[in-house]
Structure 1
């Protein structure tokens, strides 16, 4: 059974720091202040390149693809948790604006295996930027072509693969996309 997410966060104590879980670019592109950083995971979820990016790694006319979370019983999604002051969420909400919502969830800190309540940004299938599944070669071709204000979609995918390797996360979805994106034959046919 997947870890429950309990809806958009409305009632957080504005005077206390909060944890936020990063499973995509929040792992390697840390453009916000934080009080503490921990390698962490959430249970019952897996990341997939199924969310459209009209504002960062693509454009409205040619959206890129970025990761979101899908329920996956028994799976563990590795990432990084940051303890942040409440005002940081203004920046994070803007950064994650293209279809992502804040949800409450349990985050396990790897250092001491404790669980903390935290915020997890998820773009579910009901948002207008959701692109959904596609065969892996098609995903790789889409990612290889897309580019937006934050750079190439290919760079996003490859930086995520490298960051996950550094965390010791053998995410098969990301590893397969990395293989396809760096395969000489695939890149020459794009």
Structure 2
């Protein structure tokens, strides 16, 4: 599948008659909220784990030197905590462009921190997109992140802002925090 998913996403869901829909954010959508929303609430989704396995050719890297950003992988028993936004469907005109580098919109059940539930949408970069980098040792991921930068800034900024945001949410993400430790360790040596 092409890394540019804008048109694919626009054909995936029909928003006719829908006034608002929930969107689950687990990466930069937690801390870079540059879109209008009607409501924001901490939430989680079951059976998914956050991983730095997606290449970023358009925001945190370049086609020649891609950065690494998060996607979700299926993992039984996992819990991915993030932020849910209730948005107007027209927000996806912007978000489909922002998340175009391999991400597809999928439906997902979400659980809010108060125990209530809702269905929403989530962007996931699957292994069949051209920008997918896949698994690598955490020190190697940290080294790639340390060396990458793109139009949205240094890839390290993405990692550090995400790690800080996850701590504020009291989210447990050993993968993200291990890469952060590797990055900080390499910066101090």
Normalising by structure 1, we get a TM-score of: 0.91
**Residues 162 and 188 from structure 1, CA distance in 2 versus in 1: closer, same or farther, beyond 3 angstroms?**
closer
Q: Which residue, out of 84, 100, 105, partners 2:103?
A: 100
Which ranges of structure 2 fall in alignment gaps of 5 or more residues? 1-8
Which ranges of structure 1 fall in alignment gaps of 5 or more residues? 1-7
Instruction: State yes or no: 1:116 paired with 2:113.
Output: no
Q: Displacement, 1:149?
A: 0.2
Q: Which residue, out of 167, 176, 179, partners 2:178?
A: 176
How far apart in 1 are the matches of 2:77 and 2:56? 28
Aligned length: 180
Q: Secondary structure at the match of 1:134?
A: coil
Normalising by structure 2, we get a TM-score of: 0.92
Match of 2:151 in 1: 149
Match of 2:60 in 1: 57
Q: Displacement, 1:11?
A: 2.7
Match of 1:161 in 2: 163
> 1:90-114: per-residue Cα shift (whole Å, max 9, x none)?
111000000000011111111x211
How far apart in 2 are the matches of 1:94 and 1:139? 25
Q: Secondary structure at the match of 1:86?
A: coil
Q: Secondary structure at the match of 1:162?
A: helix
Match of 1:5 in 2: none
Q: Secondary structure at the match of 1:72?
A: strand
How far apart in 2 are the matches of 1:61 and 1:14? 43
Q: Are the counterparts in 2 of residues 44 and 71 from structure 1 also a CA contact under 8 Å?
A: yes
Match of 1:72 in 2: 75
Match of 2:4 in 1: none
How far apart in 2 are the matches of 1:158 and 1:171? 13
